[in-house]
Amino acid sequence: MQQTFFFQAMIYLAAAVIMVPIAKKLGLGSVLGYLFAGIVIGPVGLHFIGEEGQDLMHFAEFGVVMLLFVIGLELEPSRLWRMRRSIAGLGGLQVGATTLVLAALSLALKLDWKQALVLGMILSLSSTAIVLQSLTEKGQLKSSAGESSFAVLLFQDLAVIPMMAVLPLLANEVINATSGHTETGLISDWPGWAQTLAVLGSVAALVIAGRYLLRPFFRLIAKTGLREIFTATALLLVVGAASLMNTVGMSPALGAFLAGVVLANSEYRHELESDLDPFKGLLLGLFFIAVGASINFHLILSRPWLIIELVAGVMLVKTLVLFVLGRAFKLTNPQNLTFSLGLSQIGEFAFVLSSSAREAGILSQESMDTLIAVVALSMVVTPLVMLVNDKWIQPRICDPDKHKPKREHDVEAEENPVIIAGFGHFGNTVGRFLRANNVKATVLDTDSDNVDLLRRMGFKVYYGDASRHELLEIAGAKQAKLIIIAVGDEEKRLEMIETIKKHFPNLRMLVRASNRNDAYSLMNAGMLHIYRETLDTSIRMGVDAMKFLGFRAHETTRLAKIFFKEDEKRLKYLSSIRNADEYVIAVRKYVEELEETLRADRDMLRSGVDEGWDESPMVAELSQAIGKE
């Protein structure tokens, strides 16, 4: 049956829509879902994708280009300068050391020195798409492991350029410089110094255009009010930057990254990011599907142990090299494990470099097929390796409390009217206020270091878990009038609530909430007295802002109280809404009603019905009176 474009598009989208939610539900992450989708619809599965899977790879790599553009938008040049040690030092050492070690191992396997060197270079690279996508999903991109991984990946993208330049020098036959997706036709016949100037000129042109031309251009486009034109302009920018760098022999992903960095300080940064994010996600998904579909399982099944040994050997060597370098750059063990295991696979540029090496006669067709299988399989294995690291390795090896002796609770019998569960920054403030007013409280905390510190400061704090009913009973929960639940862990708060409702139903609970969504969960658990951390402070900041803008003190204080009262009144109703569309409609109605209520009160105040007090004029009059005396 002739497969049309629409049929192919339907297959890719259906595979993603089915497999990715399943993978996410199983805790495997979206990357593994896309890879499995490619395997299912590929030659080894339902055979919806045949040889065109390899052609699809070149198009799908545009997802990596867009990923780097969006990441560049989040990086200010000043931050890149701060990371120069990691980029040049850690990244350079990783590529250099890994290339040498793997080349030496290849020589030990009786390969030619040219083949060994090329394999070492190719295998030293890691997958930008898989690593950054996984770190982003886990919220670890700005951690030490995330920043170190990003620095290494950025250097690797830069290193692809000299690697491509070295291949013709190692060639056993004439190499076509335009193999793969590197389109150097415009400058391939130029002398070396002219090509270098072309590269530097292109980078300079990109930086200058981004700083002085793109901002007014985007401002002009924004004035049209047509969002689709703004989105088209953003896509044009990414494609143009990638094409420019590609034309002069540089990595297109690097070009997109530079364009993103140049616009990192732009006022249109967030709009660009939001417009391109759906395209980036879909194209990255397409890339991972193509990787899954391109795995040559016939080759793997014909020589399974050889392929498994090669994948395991390469990933083990890369992990060891990365771990040693991570220790040298002062990464902690948990961060270093995430860093070294996360970068242990082989990257997408291996497909390009291996193709160029094959056309140069450095690698045979059989060697290239084996290499592609190893590369693709290492990409598939990586999400599983990171999952094992998160679920089993880190909790057992890197748990900071593992080597501490287990501490028994030291809760003693008390009969105070108040129990405070959790004595961090929130509970500590409440406890000090009660203590200053001679209200006695029994304090429990599960952080042993915090307990020891507070005791040295003169606070009477017990080490114990307030979610255990027997400890609450010792602490006097049957005699106490109320308990203040101030622990920071949302799940632990809900656990305490259930314990208290079951064993101490007469104990009144005052519960800390981290934010509005947390307050919804607590209300649905039956709590009436909920205290949101950010609410009072946010309103107080708003009051101060209005005062600085010239509003009367009495007016702003009164409006703040109305706002607080109205917000609390509607909180219970909003917490009961489960449907997202209904919630949006309810919030919009609430905002309109609240604005109308505050507007009516302001009008009443300004009409003179309620003159009220105002602190500033009173202080001024008092100062004048004192001066006259």
DSSP codes joined into one string, 202-242: HHHHHHHIIIIIHHHHHHHHHTT--HHHHHHHHHHHHHHHH
Count of all residues that appear for the chain in the document: 629
With a cut of 80, say whether residue 507 has pLDDT above it.
yes
Output 324 or 621, whichever has higher pLDDT: 324
29 — pLDDT class (breaks 50, 70, 90): low
**Coil, helix or strand at residue 104:** helix
The pLDDT, as a whole number, for residue 3 is 56
List pLDDT tens digits, range 338-395: 999 999 999 877 876 887 788 778 888 888 888 888 988 898 888 889 888 888 887 7
The pLDDT, as a whole number, for residue 428 is 82
Sign, CA dihedral 215-218-224-225, equals: negative
With a cut of 90, say whether residue 539 has pLDDT above it.
no
Give the tokens for residue 352: 């390009």
79 — pLDDT class (breaks 50, 70, 90): low
Please tell me the least confidently modeled range out of 5-14, 186-195, 256-265, 344-353: 186-195
Residue the block writes with tokens 């004048």: 624
With a cut of 80, say whether residue 116 has pLDDT above it.
yes
The pLDDT, as a whole number, for residue 622 is 44
Give the tokens for residue 63: 């997802």
The pLDDT, as a whole number, for residue 57 is 59
CB under 8 Å to 500, separation ≥6 — which residues? 472, 477, 483, 507, 509
For residues 8 and 46, give the distance between their C-alpha atoms in angstroms, rounded to a whole number. Answer: 13
Helix (H), strand (E) at residue 418: strand 418-421
Q: Which residues of 368-378 are buried (b: 16+ CB within 10 A; e: fewer)?
A: bbbbbbbbbbb
Looking at residues 168-185, what average pLDDT do you find? 49
Q: For the chain, percent helix, then strand, then coil, each to nearest 5?
A: 70, 5, 25
**Coil, helix or strand at residue 50:** coil
- 8 Å CB contact between 475 and 411: yes
Looking at residues 172-185, what average pLDDT do you find? 42
For residues 339 and 225, give the distance between their C-alpha atoms in angstroms, rounded to a whole number. Answer: 44
With a cut of 90, say whether residue 250 has pLDDT above it.
no
List pLDDT tens digits, range 190-231: 766 676 787 788 888 888 887 788 878 888 887 887 878 888
For residues 467 and 511, give the distance between their C-alpha atoms in angstroms, rounded to a whole number. Answer: 13
Output 223 or 622, whichever has higher pLDDT: 223
The pLDDT, as a whole number, for residue 628 is 46
3-state secondary structure 556-623: HHHHHHHHHHHHHHHHHHHHCCCCHHHHHHHHHHHHHHHHHHHHHHHHHHHCCCCCCCCHHHHHHHHH
The pLDDT, as a whole number, for residue 255 is 79
With a cut of 60, say whether residue 452 has pLDDT above it.
yes
For residues 61 and 349, give the distance between their C-alpha atoms in angstroms, rounded to a whole number. Answer: 9
Sign, CA dihedral 302-318-133-207, equals: negative
Rounded to the nearest integer, the mean pLDDT of the chain is 78
For residues 329 and 201, give the distance between their C-alpha atoms in angstroms, rounded to a whole number. Answer: 34
Output 511 or 590, whichever has higher pLDDT: 511
Looking at residues 82-98, what average pLDDT do you find? 88
Looking at residues 14-36, what average pLDDT do you find? 81
- DSSP secondary-structure letter at 88? I
Please spell the DSSP secondary structure of 260-305, one letter per residue: HHHTTTSTTHHHHHHHHHHHHHHHHHHHHHHHHHH--HHHHHHSHH
With a cut of 50, say whether residue 629 has pLDDT above it.
no
The pLDDT, as a whole number, for residue 427 is 83
Output 269 or 486, whichever has higher pLDDT: 486
**Coil, helix or strand at residue 188:** coil
The pLDDT, as a whole number, for residue 386 is 87
Please tell me the least confidently modeled range out of 17-26, 159-168, 481-490, 577-586: 577-586
For residues 514 and 524, give the distance between their C-alpha atoms in angstroms, rounded to a whole number. Answer: 15
- DSSP secondary-structure letter at 401? T
With a cut of 70, say whether residue 258 has pLDDT above it.
yes
The pLDDT, as a whole number, for residue 613 is 47
Residue in 487, 490, 488, 468 with CA at minimum distance from that of residue 477: 468
The pLDDT, as a whole number, for residue 404 is 46
With a cut of 60, say whether residue 608 has pLDDT above it.
no
With a cut of 80, say whether residue 469 has pLDDT above it.
yes
Please tell me the least confidently modeled range out of 16-25, 127-136, 282-291, 334-343: 282-291
Cα radius of gyration rounded to whole Å, the chain: 31
Residue the block writes with tokens 């009409």: 607
Looking at residues 256-262, what average pLDDT do you find? 80
The pLDDT, as a whole number, for residue 74 is 67
For residues 159 and 367, give the distance between their C-alpha atoms in angstroms, rounded to a whole number. Answer: 23
Domains of the chain, with CATH numbers? 5-13+25-178+277-394 (1.20.1530.20), 414-513 (3.40.50.720), 547-629 (no CATH)
The pLDDT, as a whole number, for residue 319 is 95
With a cut of 60, say whether residue 612 has pLDDT above it.
no
Sign, CA dihedral 591-597-600-602, equals: negative
Please tell me the least confidently modeled range out of 69-78, 281-290, 418-427: 69-78
Output 536 or 446, whichever has higher pLDDT: 446
Give percent above pLDDT 70 in the chain.
83
To 5 degrees, how large is the angle CA 468–CA 470–CA 473?
A: 115
CB under 8 Å to 14, separation ≥6 — which residues? none
Query: What's at 487, amino acid-wise?
Result: V
Looking at residues 36-62, what average pLDDT do you find? 71
Give percent above pLDDT 90 in the chain.
11
Question: Across-strand partners of 219?
Answer: none
Please spell the DSSP secondary structure of 116-161, one letter per residue: HHHHHHHHH---HHHHHHHHHHTT-TTSHHHHHHHHHHHHHHHHHH
The pLDDT, as a whole number, for residue 58 is 60
List pLDDT tens digits, range 118-169: 999 999 999 887 888 788 777 787 788 888 998 899 888 778 767 876 777 7
CB under 8 Å to 192, separation ≥6 — which residues? none
- Is the pTM above the cut of 0.85? no
Give the tokens for residue 622: 């008092």
With a cut of 90, say whether residue 262 has pLDDT above it.
no
Looking at residues 271-299, what average pLDDT do you find? 78
